[in-house]
Amino acid sequence: MPQTPDIHGHCDPRFAAVGETFSANFRDHGEIGAAVAVVVDGDPVVDLWGGHADRDRGRPWERDTLVNVYSCTKGMTALCAHRLVCEGRLDLDAPVARYWPEFAAAGKERLPVRWLLGHRAGLAAVRDLLPGEALYDWDAMCAALAAETPWWPPGTAHGYHAVTFGWLVGEVVRRITGRSLGAYFREEIAEPLGADFRIGLPASEHGRVAEMSPLPMPPQDDDRIHLAALTPDRHPVRVIHQQVEAPPRETDADLVAISFVSGFAPEAYRVARRYRAQGKIVVGGGPHVTFAEEEARLHSDAIVTGEAEAVWATLLDDAEHGRLQPVYRSAPRPLDGLPTPRYDLLPDRFFIKRVVQATRGCPFRCSFCTVPSLNPGFRVRPVEQVLADIRYDSFKHWWQRKVVWFWDNNLTANRPFVRELLAGMVPLRKWWLTQTSLDIAGDAALLAMMRESGCIGVFFGIESFGKASLRDAHKTQNKAEKYEGAIRELHRRGICVMAGFVSGFDGDSQADIKAMAGDCTRPGWMCHSSAS
Ligand code: SF4
């Protein structure tokens, strides 16, 4: 379990609750490292820090550890502009073009400085596709924004200029002072105040910066807690999701099993190298290992391909008796008899912990999808066994007891099965989410049962609006002309829709991709993800 590290600094007794919550973040929520400071009327009443500045917990968090503060930098940028106002060098009602002549393009001749500071300039984005490096090129970004046509009539509406604010206001500061925003801020504000805040950090300070650690999402693949439930009691198991907790630098485990998808392969191999160097047995498994056996074998003492359940007990027995094989090929097995996953091993930091599988596989064969080869066929679990998982309620927080996330590829593919399951769920009064296919929108009886049993959200793989692309993807069950109506049917029943899109099919042009971005941001749609 996460430990509470030594907390340094001081905390006025009147603010003891702040100190307690700060500690609880480490103990209960897997905090890695943090600092908090509170100043009341110029009096610092809380100044605490603790933990580590890196995900591997090798570097202590110090009093002067620096963190990326994202949009707080907008406040510092605005401070620079306001200082120039105080000095009489900047007029908030003057046109931006008075200070930055190129900005007068595309009808912006009279746009006042005030609207840049108030996010009312209509310049929240750049339409042209720019190379990725442009983000680091001040002149390129300012030139693009100076040439841009406002996305709405300036001054008529407010829209958060999340990414462009720094260039827009910062360039005005630069034109007036002849100094970069970072230099002006440092010389006129930070240094006189003794403030350790930088806009642009010199390499000499990089060693003081804390690493970013990703936010915890629901456990995306629950094979770990399934395998833990299949592990004989004589082997204690610890489950670590790197989403919320870094693997310890050293472990007393005899065997470390690492499951991962392709995007995490480099990190998985790094962790594998570390544990193998300590003499641990490392076993690789999961989708990437299944599709890249030879590569995975270079980093593992053994690998498991396919669904691991059928070979897990044999592998553990072999490891225990010194006869571990390099490859365990697992064939899909019937799902009857799978134990309830070890939810107790998941950190409480996961908002949703009850991830349930009622079915496995998918009757469709979309060309880009790993499911048909990774989980061939379509199998269902006995309904009563699925309901037993859903009845498991030993969770700390009420929302963890309330919400069920079906981690199925297509829960509704077998209608008699899903009807029986939903009927059993009604009295349990849960909220649930799943992945499913668009054809459910035409099944009013099923939609009614979904609503009655507590469905709050579904994920659809919409993929594309283009007939040719859908044909490419073998996704002929999707009909673009029916998307809107299908989503409306779900919304009418209070069920939220998340949708996945794929851009970059062989026949997709840039214009198709732009059109798709427009289509899927129409009011009433909620875009979840896209990949290319
Ligand atoms: S419908 Fe979804 S899960 Fe099934 S094959 Fe297609 S993409 Fe994969």
Distance 364 CA to ligand 1 centre (A): 6
361 shares its domain with 493: yes
Residue 272: CB partners within 8 Å, gap ≥ 6?
Answer: 256, 258, 282, 284, 299, 300
CA angle 460, 465, 470 (to 5 degrees): 80
Task: Tell me, yes or no, whether 275 lies in a domain.
Answer: yes
Distance 473 CA to ligand 1 centre (A): 10
Ligand 1 atom closest to Cα of residue 475: 6
Please state, as a whole number, how many other Cβ atoms lie within 10 Å of the Cβ of residue 381: 23
Task: Tell me, yes or no, whether 211 lies in a domain.
Answer: no
Distance 409 CA to ligand 1 centre (A): 7
Query: Which pLDDT score is estimated for 531?
Result: 37
CA–CA gap between residue 249 and residue 266 (Å, rounded): 17
Pocket of ligand 1 (CB under 6 A): 362, 364-366, 369, 371-372, 409-410, 437, 461
Going by alpha carbons, the residue nearest to atom 8 of ligand 1 is 369
Is 440 strand, coil or helix?
Answer: helix
> Given ligand 1 and candidates 371, 378, 528, which is best to mutate, with the most ligand atoms within 8 Å of its CB?
371
CA–CA gap between residue 282 and residue 360 (Å, rounded): 27
User: Cα 520 to chain center, whole Å?
Assistant: 20
Going by alpha carbons, the residue nearest to atom 1 of ligand 1 is 364
* CATH code: domain of residue 398: 3.20.20.70
Dihedral angle over CA of 163, 165, 170, 175, nearest 10:
110
CA–CA gap between residue 494 and residue 278 (Å, rounded): 53
HSE, CB side, 13 Å, CA atoms: give it for residue 285. 25
Helix (H) or strand (E) holding 450: helix 444-452
CA angle 446, 452, 454 (to 5 degrees): 105
387 shares its domain with 517: yes
144 shares its domain with 44: no
Distance 469 CA to ligand 1 centre (A): 15
Residue 373: CB partners within 8 Å, gap ≥ 6?
Answer: none
Task: Tell me, yes or no, whether 245 lies in a domain.
Answer: yes
- 405 DSSP β-pair partners: 355, 433
CA angle 331, 373, 238 (to 5 degrees): 60
Distance 436 CA to ligand 1 centre (A): 9
320 shares its domain with 364: no
63 shares its domain with 103: no
Structural domain including 519 reads 351-531
Going by alpha carbons, the residue nearest to atom 6 of ligand 1 is 366
CB 424 within 8 A of CB 389: no
410 shares its domain with 492: yes
- Considering its fold, how many domains does the chain have in total? 4
447-456 core/surface letters (b: 16 or more CB in 10 A; e: else): bebbbebbbb
CA–CA gap between residue 348 and residue 219 (Å, rounded): 11
* CATH code: domain of residue 89: 3.40.710.10
Burial label, 155 (beta-carbon count in 10 A; 0-12, 13-18, 19+): middle
Distance 459 CA to ligand 1 centre (A): 11
CA angle 348, 349, 354 (to 5 degrees): 60
Residue in the structure block whose two tokens are 């027995």: 317
Helix orientation angle between 72-86 and 165-177, rounded to the nearest 10 degrees: 30
Dihedral angle over CA of 418, 423, 426, 430, nearest 10:
-20
Ligand 1 atom closest to Cα of residue 474: 6
Going by alpha carbons, the residue nearest to atom 3 of ligand 1 is 409
CB 228 within 8 A of CB 342: yes
249 shares its domain with 376: no
Q: Which amino acid appears at position 501 of this protein?
A: F
Distance 500 CA to ligand 1 centre (A): 11
CA–CA gap between residue 198 and residue 200 (Å, rounded): 6
401 shares its domain with 485: yes
Is 25 strand, coil or helix?
Answer: helix
Task: Tell me, yes or no, whether 335 lies in a domain.
Answer: no
> Given ligand 1 and candidates 379, 410, 414, 475, which is best to mutate, with the most ligand atoms within 8 Å of its CB?
410
Helices (H) and strands (E) in the chain, counts: 21, 15
376 shares its domain with 440: yes
Dihedral angle over CA of 148, 149, 152, 158, nearest 10:
30
370 shares its domain with 285: no
Distance 442 CA to ligand 1 centre (A): 19
Task: Tell me, yes or no, whether 212 lies in a domain.
Answer: no
- 356 DSSP β-pair partners: 406
The pLDDT profile of the chain, 532 residues, written as one tens digit per residue, is 556 889 999 999 999 999 999 999 888 777 899 999 999 999 999 999 999 999 888 999 999 999 999 999 999 999 999 999 999 999 999 999 999 999 999 999 999 999 999 999 999 989 888 888 899 999 999 999 999 999 899 999 888 899 999 999 999 999 999 999 999 999 999 999 999 999 999 999 999 999 987 655 555 556 789 999 999 999 999 999 887 788 999 999 999 999 999 999 999 999 999 999 999 999 999 999 999 999 999 999 999 999 999 999 999 999 999 999 999 999 889 999 999 999 999 988 888 899 999 999 998 888 888 898 888 999 999 999 999 999 999 998 888 999 999 999 999 999 999 999 999 999 999 999 999 999 999 999 999 999 999 999 999 998 888 888 888 888 888 888 888 899 999 999 999 999 888 888 888 888 888 888 777 765 455 444 433 3
> Given ligand 1 and candidates 357, 360, 366, 479, which is best to mutate, with the most ligand atoms within 8 Å of its CB?
366
Task: Tell me, yes or no, whether 406 lies in a domain.
Answer: yes
Among 299, 293, 304, 302, residue whose Cα is nearest residue 329: 304
Task: Tell me, yes or no, whether 97 lies in a domain.
Answer: yes
